[in-house]
Amino acid sequence: MGENTMGNILIVDDCEEIVDLMHDMIVEHSTLKPFKAYSAKEGLGVIHQNEIDVILLDLVMPEMNGIEMFRVLKTDGSLVPVIFLTGQGDKLLQNQALEMGAFDFLHKPAKAKDLFLLIDAAYKVSTKIKTIANKKAAN
C-alpha cells in the first residue's frame, strides 16, 4: 500500500483473537487505520461514527450474521467494499453475499499476502467511489 494512504478499515468478527490478530497485522503492514468490532451491531455503530473505507466482515456470527449486517449497509446506501471472512464453507451464504455486491471472500485462516492484496484492491475501489461521489456533489 502507498505510504500516503490514510484510510480506515473495520474488522468485524465475533472471535476476538481473529480481530486482534488482523488488527495487529494491519497496523504493522499497512497504512490504513484499523477499527475493531466484535459483533455486527458493534460494527454498525463504528460505521456510523467513523468514515470507513474497507470492511472485513465475518460471515457467521451470533445475533446478527455478516449477511444481515451487509443488508443493513446496502439499505443505508453504503458503497464501502466488504470483504467477507469465513471459516465455514457455506456456499449458499457466500453466493447470497456475492449477489448482494460483496467485494470478495477470504477463507480463514487467510494468508497475509492474500489478505493484503484484497485490502489494497478494495481500498482503491473505495477511493474511486469517493472521487466520483465528490465530483457529482461538486456539479
Instruction: Tell me: cis bond preceding 109? Omega within 30 of 0 counts.
Output: yes
The CA–CA distances, whole Å, from 114 to 38, 66, 96, 104 equal 22, 20, 22, 11
- Specify the number of domains making up the chain: 1
Q: The domain spanning residue 133 has which CATH number?
A: 3.40.50.2300
Q: Is residue 22 in a domain?
A: yes
Rounded to an integer, what is the distance from CA 114 to the centroid of its chain? 14
Q: Is residue 2 in a domain?
A: no
Structural domain boundaries enclosing 67:
8-138
Q: Is residue 53 in a domain?
A: yes
Sequence-ordered strand ranges (E) for 49-115? 54-58, 82-86, 104-107
CA distance 80 to 74: 9
Task: Please give the span between the terminal C-alpha atoms of the chain, in angstroms, as a whole number.
Answer: 31
CA distance 110 to 13: 14
Per-residue pLDDT at 130 exceeds 60: yes
Q: Is residue 3 in a domain?
A: no
Is 125 exposed, middle or buried, given 0-12, 13-18 or 19+ CB atoms closer than 10 A? middle
Q: Which residue has the cell 455478516?
A: 66
Q: Is residue 96 in a domain?
A: yes
Q: Which residue has the higher pLDDT, 80 or 96?
A: 80
Q: Is residue 85 in a domain?
A: yes
What tens digit of pLDDT does each residue of 111-129 get? 889 999 999 999 999 999 9
Q: Which residues pair with 58 in a beta bridge?
A: 85
Q: Is residue 1 in a domain?
A: no
Q: Is residue 113 in a domain?
A: yes
Give the pTM.
Answer: 0.91
Rounded to an integer, what is the distance from CA 18 to the centroid of its chain? 14
Quickly state the pLDDT bin for 86 (edges 50, 70, 90).
confident
CA distance 69 to 84: 11
